């Protein structure tokens, strides 16, 4: 669940509310490879609730799942895929809720991305943790907080937490999907739910980082993700944090005066399983490597990975094709694996 990123912070509050209301299942919606839906399914299992996931995509991908649908085999009660906007996610959610109620179940609906007045508290609380770490560090202060913006909830929570705390840092949300106008209104709506009397334009700056579009990566963006991993050992996902970091450095390069002398905190919101869908694109950007297919009939209990300290940072398992690929410090290098 931790690999599904920032949604876990929101789900801590949302699952507690679901249990308190006597729900026996949850419904939520997300994209075809939604970190939020994956985390919701796992979190629901922790508190003994079934989960029903609605996935939206621009084109039907039932037969070409990039790594999420098979979660239904082990975790989610049901996963359904629908072409985006043919029928709105809200309408689909209402329809599913009605059907579950007719079956005698008690569904709890979680909005996309966990972005709601209750979910925001996950990142208001995160600001409190940042404050504690600043106090422990002694003299570190931040002028700006940078984060990816996909549903607006994380940006709203960080901005509210920052303004209600001693931090008072400006939050910069780098949009990975919609335009800035949409997100200023979106974040304002989130803020108004908690009625703090703040204007989104005063506490948030929204900048465009969507590039080709949501979950679509350019070769330059993927090269950037690879280079950051090689230089720092930090793996950025290509859908959210990778685009946000790429957009941040591009903004700093284009307008250095604006950022000069400022101390910036970049919040990595996780979602590393988004790398599932980018293996083929990444393969063309790396040096010497080869792909090793594992026997389909082998059900591995444990993968024993051998690697040198200088190369290995982390590994990605492309489950559908049974491939192990290691993201190395200086290149993507296949590492030998054994099954038993």
Q: How far is 221 from 146, CA to CA, in rounded Å?
A: 17
Q: In whole angstroms, give the CA distance from residue 187 to residue 149.
A: 10
Distance between CA atoms of residues 230 and 224, nearest Å: 10
Strand segments (E) across 98-224: 107-110, 144-149, 170-175, 204-208
Which sign does the torsion angle of CA 285, 243, 72, 43 carry? positive
Whether 34 sits among the annotated catalytic residues: the reply is yes
Cα(first)–Cα(last) distance of the chain, in Å? 25
Q: Quick check: 158 and 145 in contact, CB under 8 A?
A: yes
Which residue is associated with the tokens 């859908």? 239
With vertex at residue 152, the alpha carbon angle to CA 150 and CA 158, rounded to the nearest 5 degrees, is: 115
> Helix 180-194 vs helix 153-164: angle between axes, to the nearest 10 degrees?
50
User: Which residue in the list 4, 34, 51, 116 is annotated as catalytic?
Assistant: 34
What are the catalytic residues? 34
């Amino acid at each position: 669940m931790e690999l599904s990123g920032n949604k876990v912070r929101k789900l801590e509050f949302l699952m507690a509310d679901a249990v308190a209301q006597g729900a026996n299942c949850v419904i939520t919606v997300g994209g075809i490879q939604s970190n939020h839906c994956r985390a919701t399914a796992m979190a629901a299992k922790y508190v003994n609730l079934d989960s029903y996931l609605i996935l939206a995509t621009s084109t039907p991908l039932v037969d070409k799942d990039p790594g999420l649908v098979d979660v239904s085999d082990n975790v989610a009660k049901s996963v359904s895929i629908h072409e985006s906007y043919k029928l709105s996610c809200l309408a689909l959610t209402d329809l599913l809720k009605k059907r579950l109620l007719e079956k005698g179940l008690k569904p709890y609906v979680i909005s996309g991305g966990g972005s709601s007045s209750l979910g925001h508290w996950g990142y208001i609380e995160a600001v409190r943790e940042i404050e504690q770490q600043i106090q422990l560090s002694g003299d570190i202060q931040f002028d700006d907080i940078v984060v990816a913006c996909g549903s607006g909830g994380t940006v709203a929570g960080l901005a509210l937490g920052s303004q209600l705390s001693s931090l008072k840092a400006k939050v910069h949300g780098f949009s990975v999907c919609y335009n800035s106008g949409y997100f200023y209104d979106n974040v304002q709506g989130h803020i108004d739910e908690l009625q703090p009397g703040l204007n989104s334009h005063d506490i948030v700056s929204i900048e465009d980082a969507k590039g080709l579009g949501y979950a679509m990566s350019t070769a330059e963006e993927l090269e950037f993700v690879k280079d950051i991993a090689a230089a720092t050992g930090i793996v950025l996902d290509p859908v959210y944090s990778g685009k946000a970091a790429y957009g941040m450095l591009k903004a700093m390069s284009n307008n250095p005066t604006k950022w000069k002398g400022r101390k910036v905190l970049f919040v990595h919101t996780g979602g590393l399983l988004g790398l599932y869908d980018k293996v083929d694109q990444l393969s063309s950007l790396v040096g010497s490597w080869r792909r090793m297919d594992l026997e389909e009939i082998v059900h591995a209990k444990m993968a024993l990975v051998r690697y040198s300290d200088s190369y290995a940072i982390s590994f990605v398992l492309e489950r559908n094709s049974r491939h192990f690929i290691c993201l190395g410090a200086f290149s993507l290098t296949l590492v030998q694996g054994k099954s038993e």
